[in-house]
């Protein structure tokens, strides 16, 4: 079992170090961790945010544990050299089209949410976000119009096979949960979304046991704070999923709590917190590592088939929170290592 560990920039290395401690504490025999450079850190060392040797490490692994990339001091670079291209490149190169972002309130910790406890108490949803298409990966550029104005443009497009495979992921996920799937789009305005909706409806015929609904993304953003308990599985495109998952994190309590799995066909996956490199708190030892620790649990479950160990980690995180071990993002004062210590103690 070989896991590639790509810590990246900002708080990435800080939170990844705690997740690695947790993985090592499990004492799994035959587990090998191999580090690689990504993001701004890789650019500074190798002149590229996703060097060939990093891709080689990824391809020779069973799964990737990823921290975060992003460095504002490199935002002037041409886009292909910016830190974010590391995670975008890995997703595209490795066919990681299915992004699972679960958001569930921790029992007894409803008040971590920025919503009223009686609203947050019911949150147990899964966002299934398409990850290798949409406006993220379409042609893009800037041009000068005939009248001299500059224009930036990005092409939004989905081909039917891209929609079909993520729809299957959404329906299968719903079958394993409460059998409710909500497809989120903007079909009232966008052709991309109309095709998305048509294809999801076609795929639904293969899942008669799942109740399919459709919702426009603006309404979904509203319903997520009004009545998030009504959602079970949400399937949506790359851009809408990015935005709704940050929002869902605050419904649970903090972006420092939400883990994710980015899966290819088969068992290979990349696992990362949904947050970024948080430059405002980087280097201070105060980032919450729980999202990354929970991502490591998802890695054990989805890529290595180690459900029991995954559940142990999740229980240890919940127990640490229940003890009142909270980072600044949750209104507490526990530091990154202290939170790691608390999770390890429960493990
Ligand atoms: P961010 O997620 O890094 O931070 C948003 C806010 O949440 C900040 O106030 C930050 O301090 C806080 N925060 C995030 N994670 C936290 C944690 N674990 N504990 C405590 N507080 C936490 O988003 P941003 O500020 O918009 O972006 C910063 C950089 O990260 C940008 O360069 C962006 O492109 C990049 N980014 C990378 C990823 C990724 O690697 N997958 C994801 C999102 C953003
Ligand atoms: C995420 C991030 C990335 C995205 C960025 C860093 C490219 O926001 O993983 O949610 O937009 O997908
Ligand atoms: Mn995001």
218-263 confidence digits (pLDDT tens): 999 999 999 999 999 999 999 999 999 999 999 999 999 999 999 9
Q: Which of 79, 88, 100 is the pocket-test mutation for ligand 2 (most atoms within 8 Å of CB)?
A: 88
pLDDT tens figures, 132-161: 999 999 999 999 999 999 999 999 999 999
Report the residue count for the chain: 347
Half-sphere exposure for 210 (CA within 13 Å, toward CB): 30
Residue 218 is among the residues annotated as catalytic for this protein: yes
Domains and CATH numbers, the chain: 1-105+256-347 (3.40.718.10), 110-253 (3.40.718.10)
Q: Is the pLDDT of residue 127 over 90?
A: yes
Residue 198 is among the residues annotated as catalytic for this protein: no
Q: Is the pLDDT of residue 2 over 90?
A: yes
Task: Give, using CA atoms, the residue closest to atom 6 of ligand 2.
Answer: 84
- Ligand 1 binding pocket includes 125 (Cβ within 6 Å): no
């997740």: which residue's tokens? 19
Task: Give, using CA atoms, the residue closest to atom 5 of ligand 2.
Answer: 84
Per-residue confidence at 107, pLDDT binned at 50, 70, 90? confident
Pairing of strands 233-236, 124-130: parallel
Of 37, 28, 35, 51, the C-alpha closest to 3 is 35
Residue 43 is among the residues annotated as catalytic for this protein: no
> Taking the CB of residue 118, how many other CB atoms lie within 10 A of it?
9
Q: Return the SS3 of 103.
A: strand
Per-residue confidence at 83, pLDDT binned at 50, 70, 90? very high
Task: Give, using CA atoms, the residue closest to atom 34 of ligand 1.
Answer: 70
Q: How high does pLDDT run on average in the chain?
A: 97
- Ligand 1 binding pocket includes 276 (Cβ within 6 Å): yes
Residue 136 is among the residues annotated as catalytic for this protein: yes
Atom of ligand 2 nearest to the CA of 99: 9
> Taking the CB of residue 179, how many other CB atoms lie within 10 A of it?
14
Residue 197 is predicted with a pLDDT of 99
Residue 172 is predicted with a pLDDT of 98
Centre of ligand 2 to C-alpha 35, Å, is 21
Task: Give, using CA atoms, the residue closest to atom 11 of ligand 2.
Answer: 242
Residue 319 is predicted with a pLDDT of 97
Spatial neighbors of 303 by CB under 8 A, at least 6 apart, are: 62, 63, 267, 268, 269, 271
**Beta bridge partner(s), residue 182:** 213, 234
Separation of alpha carbons 327 and 334, rounded Å: 5
Name the pTM for this structure.
Answer: 0.97
Residue 120 is predicted with a pLDDT of 96
Residue from 71, 242, 271, 326 carrying the catalytic annotation: 242
Q: Is the pLDDT of residue 206 over 90?
A: yes
Q: Is the pLDDT of residue 108 over 90?
A: no
Task: Give, using CA atoms, the residue closest to atom 7 of ligand 2.
Answer: 84
Centre of ligand 2 to C-alpha 118, Å, is 31
Percent helix, percent strand, percent coil in the chain, to nearest 5: 45, 20, 35
- Ligand 1 binding pocket includes 13 (Cβ within 6 Å): no
């Amino acid at each position: 079992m070989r896991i590639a560990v790509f810590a990246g920039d900002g708080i990435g290395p800080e939170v990844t170090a705690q997740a690695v401690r947790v993985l090592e504490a499990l004492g799994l025999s035959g587990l090998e961790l191999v580090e690689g450079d990504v993001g701004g850190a890789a650019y500074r060392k190798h002149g590229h945010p996703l060097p060939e040797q990093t891709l080689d490490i990824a391809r020779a692994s069973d799964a990737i544990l990823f921290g975060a990339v992003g460095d504002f001091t490199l935002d002037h670079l041409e886009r292909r050299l910016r830190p974010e291209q590391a995670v975008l490149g890995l997703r595209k190169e490795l066919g990681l089209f299915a992004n699972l972002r679960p958001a569930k309130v921790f029992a007894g910790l409803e008040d971590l949410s920025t919503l009223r406890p009686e609203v947050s108490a019911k949150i147990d949803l899964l966002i299934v976000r398409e990850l290798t298409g949409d406006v993220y990966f379409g042609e893009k550029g800037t041009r000068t119009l005939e009248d001299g104005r500059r224009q930036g443009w990005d092409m939004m497009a989905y081909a039917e096979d891209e929609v079909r495979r993520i729809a299957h992921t959404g329906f299968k996920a719903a079958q394993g949960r409460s059998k409710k799937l909500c497809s989120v789009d903007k079909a009232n305005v966008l052709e991309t979304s109309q095709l998305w909706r048509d294809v999801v409806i076609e795929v639904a015929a293969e899942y008669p046991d799942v109740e399919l609904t459709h919702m426009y993304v603006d309404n979904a953003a509203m319903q997520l704070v009004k009545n998030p308990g009504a959602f079970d599985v949400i399937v949506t495109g790359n851009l809408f999923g990015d935005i709704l998952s940050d929002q869902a994190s605050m419904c649970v309590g903090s972006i420092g709590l939400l883990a994710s799995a980015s899966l290819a066909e088969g068992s290979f996956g990349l696992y990362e917190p949904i947050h970024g490199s948080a430059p405002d708190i980087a280097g201070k030892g105060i980032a919450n590592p729980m999202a990354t620790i929970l991502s490591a649990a998802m890695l054990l479950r989805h890529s290595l088939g180690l459900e029991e160990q995954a559940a142990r980690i999740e229980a240890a995180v919940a127990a640490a929170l229940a003890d009142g071990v909270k980072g600044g993002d949750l209104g507490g004062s526990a530091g990154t290592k202290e939170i790691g210590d608390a999770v390890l103690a429960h493990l």
